[in-house]
Homo-oligomer: A and B are copies of this chain.
Amino acid sequence: MPPPLHPPLSLRLHLLLRSQTLTPLLRRGSSCDAPLCRTRRYISVRASAAQLASAGVATAQQPELGVEEAVVGFVTGKRKATEVAHAVWRNIVQKGDTVVDATCGNGNDTLALLKMVADETARGRVYGMDIQDSAIESTSSFLKMAVGDERQGLVKLFPICHSRIEEIVPKDAPVRLVAFNLGYLPGGDKTVITVPRTTELALQAASRLLSSGGLISVLVYIGHPGGRDELDVVESFASSLPVDTWATCKLQMINRPIAPVLILLNKK
């Protein structure tokens, strides 16, 4: 059985997108400060094989990347940090899990997560968030093209700030993974970015939500003004987590100073 949802959250994705209606609570939460929750632009997408591949989603031509291939590829400059992230996720996430994409953007991570949790039991859930309505629409369109309606129904999308995760995920749903893609949207406007204050709140919320054995995955884009400030916030948060209950680590290119940094926080 799928975990029960709070009444306002059980709205089907297509209804959510059609009406763009959320409860007042979801429109503006006390933890969400409008000037901080700056919107991110999205780029329209088509679920081509190339995009599915770049999203780390297996296609007939390109099977799923394992951790070994992804990490050795990263070390040798042939694979991206996001591919390492997806490969690690696949080792953590199981069919039927509840997971969160805290920054949907184009929907790449959302789709990758959906493929990880979806099975014939239809118990898996992906809760997706993005402060910008258009990003949610983009993600929805992408999912529609990439998977059938039935699987798409496992995804619940919300156009709200990522600091408000706890308002959308049912309290009795153990969360296995929360994924963040911070900074500007690749291919988008680099001046439209996530910001440290709400990211910090989002990480705090994610750490409360996460079940034992779960993972918070943060890919921090740093090649724009403010990017290193946000990295500092994430690292500071990661370093504050107690070693007896958390393992936190960082994977970073050194001679590509603006390459995104992957930070993984595992709740023991």
Residue positions of A touching B, CB distance < 8 A = 66-68, 71-72, 74-78, 88, 91-92, 215, 235, 238-243, 246-257, 263-264, 266, 268
A215: min CB distance to chain B, Å: 7
Report the separation of the CA atoms of residues A241 and B254 in the bound assembly, to the nearest whole angstrom.
Answer: 9
Report the separation of the CA atoms of residues A69 and B48 in the bound assembly, to the nearest whole angstrom.
Answer: 32
- Which B residues lie within 8 Å of A71 (CB)? 67, 71, 88
Q: Which of B72, B248, B268 contacts A91 (CB 8 A)?
A: B72
- Which B residues lie within 8 Å of A239 (CB)? 254-255, 257
Report the separation of the CA atoms of residues A58 and B12 in the bound assembly, to the nearest whole angstrom.
Answer: 52
Per DSSP, chain A at the interface is mixed
Report the separation of the CA atoms of residues A255 and B249 in the bound assembly, to the nearest whole angstrom.
Answer: 8
Report the separation of the CA atoms of residues A249 and B73 in the bound assembly, to the nearest whole angstrom.
Answer: 11
Q: Which of B74, B88, B247 contacts A255 (CB 8 A)?
A: B247
Asked whether, in the complex, the Cβ of B77 is within 8 Å of the Cβ of A268, the reply is yes
Asked whether, in the complex, the Cβ of A249 is within 8 Å of the Cβ of B67, the reply is no
- Which B residues lie within 8 Å of A255 (CB)? 238-243, 246-248
Asked whether, in the complex, the Cβ of A75 is within 8 Å of the Cβ of B215, the reply is yes
What residue of chain B has the Cβ atom nearest to residue A252's Cβ? B250
Asked whether, in the complex, the Cβ of B75 is within 8 Å of the Cβ of A264, the reply is yes
Q: Which of B75, B243, B257, B266 contacts A75 (CB 8 A)?
A: B266
Q: Which of B67, B242, B252 contacts A68 (CB 8 A)?
A: B67
A18: min CB distance to chain B, Å: 40
Q: Which of B92, B215, B248, B254 contacts A250 (CB 8 A)?
A: B254
- Which B residues lie within 8 Å of A257 (CB)? 239
Asked whether, in the complex, the Cβ of B215 is within 8 Å of the Cβ of A247, the reply is no
Asked whether, in the complex, the Cβ of B266 is within 8 Å of the Cβ of A238, the reply is no
Report the separation of the CA atoms of residues A171 and B68 in the bound assembly, to the nearest whole angstrom.
Answer: 32
Q: Select the residue from A67, A74, A76, A235 with max chain B CB neighbours within 10 A.
A: A76
- Which B residues lie within 8 Å of A67 (CB)? 67-68, 71-72
A259: min CB distance to chain B, Å: 9
Question: Sorted from nearest, which 4 A-B pairs have the closest CB atoms?
Answer: A77-B247, A67-B68, A238-B254, A248-B254
